[in-house]
Structure 1
Amino acid sequence: MLNRNIETFIGCDNEYEESGIVIFGAPFDSTTSFRPGTRFASKAMRGDSFGIETYSPYQDKDLEDIAIFDGGDLELSFGNTERALGQIEEFTAKVLSDGKIPCMIGGEHLVTLGTMRAVAKHYPDVHVIQFDAHADLREDYLGESLSHATVIHRVWDLLGDNRIYQFGIRSGDRSEFQWGKDRVFTNKFNFNGLTDVIDKLKGKPVYLTIDLDVLDPSVFPGTGTPEAGGVSFMELLQAILQVSELNIIGCDVNELSPPYDQSGVSTAVACKVLRELLLAISSKN
């Protein structure tokens, strides 16, 4: 019998109705300030995911034991940033209204604003944990308020003070750090202080956004704005496992740019990060 050839992330081929987690791609990189290419991430990750296993020896869990639906890539408007964000918001709102957890594959980091617009409406008391090399707190970038360099400032516009927690930050304009000092929690360079934040946020809805350039470029060179001095894969994995203790109501993994690592190692790392993230949040939700 012949069936349609539908490519999904490994182990995420369940039906929508039976799934508690919905992954989808947001292939958008129209505001990338240095090296574009993140629009190809979700497609590359689906294909390369079959080079890893559904089973995680780190967690002793298997994607085949949980129900995850892969909704494919959204067809986004590349010529209209606001419209693209609206399309992401609309899809996320549908997933949330159906009682499921959205897990987005970017794309540049600006796509997080689309999901957060829906999340903030559905969970007015949501808090955000951000793993990233960059603060992303600029008011504008070259006169544009919607940019991957401004995304967390735009999220702050939605949430206000003391609702955003940044880890791994090692790059940003001086004014970003000065502006954010009394508005967001920023831990530079690593995950120190994460345990205290987790204790503080227990019982609250939390959105986790992972910009993969939090990883050191020696581990993850395939990204648009690599920054030396990042964390290791194992450090990121441990941080994900810690955060999964919380009530994670949505998440994303973004900023893989496959063209900048022809070896495919960066895509393999991104696949493994997503697998571990899905398994971690599924056990708590």
Structure 2
Amino acid sequence: DIEGNLERAEEKVADIVAAGAVPIILGGDHTVPTPTLRAILKPRTKKIGLIVFDSHMDLSHEPKNWASTEWSQVLELGKISPENFVCVGIRGVRNSIFERNVARELGHRVITIDEVKECGIKDVMNEAIKLATNGTDGIYFSLDIDVMDPSQVMSQKAPEFWGLTMDEMFHALRRITREKIIGCDINEYTPDYDLNGMGAQFCARVAAEFLGGIALRKRDGK
């Protein structure tokens, strides 16, 4: 019951938003952002920025409610502009020519793993945040764990070698959590492929980084 599950997920996230809290959602596959962002965006009048860490662009149009079509659906909601949408870590043979053409037509920023390695994560994050915050009221962050190199996080269903390192990831997290975060998701964790629970620990640490960032901003009155 995919449709029913997505509707129930949206209702639960809407309750979190109505309570004035910031949703941190643990997936699940990469359909997770669709109901989450529907719930977040529904009461909002201002646009938001979107930063995605993933090895895949996920810009297919069909089938609906699939973990490769979420951003096409999210952009249709009308409160995220392509110029405020940034994908980081794209790589691998699973990115289709169709998706690359869609990205070009949209004009949103796709930062490949080659650029991350050549320019450094600090410059990449400065650019991503500049784009995502330009004229927006907060950032939504989505992490597909296959952006990580599988030698460091093995619990992936679609691994692509030459991914982000732990050092790069946590530098990025420390940078992004200084901004106004209105929600985030951590998805595509696959327990069957985990090793000694390290993938689960990684996901938990990412969630903790966001909780810490939100708490620090609240402490500082931001």
Query: Is the Cα contact below 8 Å between 1:204 and 1:246 reproduced in 2?
Result: no
Gap change, CA 1:198 and 1:262, over 3 Å in 2:
closer
Which whole-Å deviations, capped at 9, do the CAs of 1:136-169 have from their partners, x for residues lacking one?
11111xxx22100111221122234323211111
Gap change, CA 1:204 and 1:160, over 3 Å in 2:
closer
- Equivalent residue in structure 1 for 2:38, among 117, 126, 139: 117
Structure showing the higher strand proportion among its residues: 1
Query: Is the Cα contact below 8 Å between 2:24 and 2:207 reproduced in 1?
Result: no
Any stretches of 5+ residues in structure 2 without a counterpart? none
For 1:151-166, what aligned pairs fall within 5 Å after superposition?
151-158=70-77, 159-166=80-87
Query: Is the Cα contact below 8 Å between 1:156 and 1:164 reproduced in 2?
Result: no
Task: Describe the SS at the equivalent of 2:151.
Answer: coil
Aligned-CA RMSD value: 1.7
Q: Percent sequence identity over matched residues?
A: 28
1:186 and 2:110 equivalent?
yes
Look up the match of 2:140.
207
CA distance in 2, matches of 1:271, 1:255: 13
CA distance in 2, matches of 1:147, 1:220: 23
Bigger Cα displacement from structure 2, 154-163 vs 169-178: 154-163
Q: Report which of the two structures shows the higher radius of gyration computed on alpha carbons.
A: 1
How far 1:211 sits from its partner (Å)? 0.9
Structure showing the higher helix proportion among its residues: 2
Look up the match of 2:211.
278
1:230 and 2:163 equivalent?
yes
1:196 and 2:120 equivalent?
no
Task: Describe the SS at the equivalent of 1:250.
Answer: strand
Look up the match of 1:251.
184
Query: Is the Cα contact below 8 Å between 1:134 and 1:169 reproduced in 2?
Result: yes
| Alignment-mate amino acid for residue 130 of structure 1 | V
How far 1:84 sits from its partner (Å)? 1.1
Gap change, CA 1:100 and 1:217, over 3 Å in 2:
same
- Equivalent residue in structure 1 for 2:20, among 91, 99, 103: 99
How far 1:81 sits from its partner (Å)? 1.2
CA distance in 1, matches of 2:183, 2:102: 27
Question: Normalised by the size of structure 2, how large is the TM-score?
Answer: 0.85
CA distance in 2, matches of 1:244, 1:262: 28
Look up the match of 2:67.
148
| Alignment-mate amino acid for residue 104 of structure 2 | K
Task: Describe the SS at the equivalent of 2:139.
Answer: strand
CA distance in 2, matches of 1:254, 1:204: 24
Query: Is the Cα contact below 8 Å between 1:129 and 1:208 reproduced in 2?
Result: yes
Which whole-Å deviations, capped at 9, do the CAs of 1:81-101 have from their partners, x for residues lacking one?
121111111111111112111
Task: Describe the SS at the equivalent of 1:221.
Answer: coil
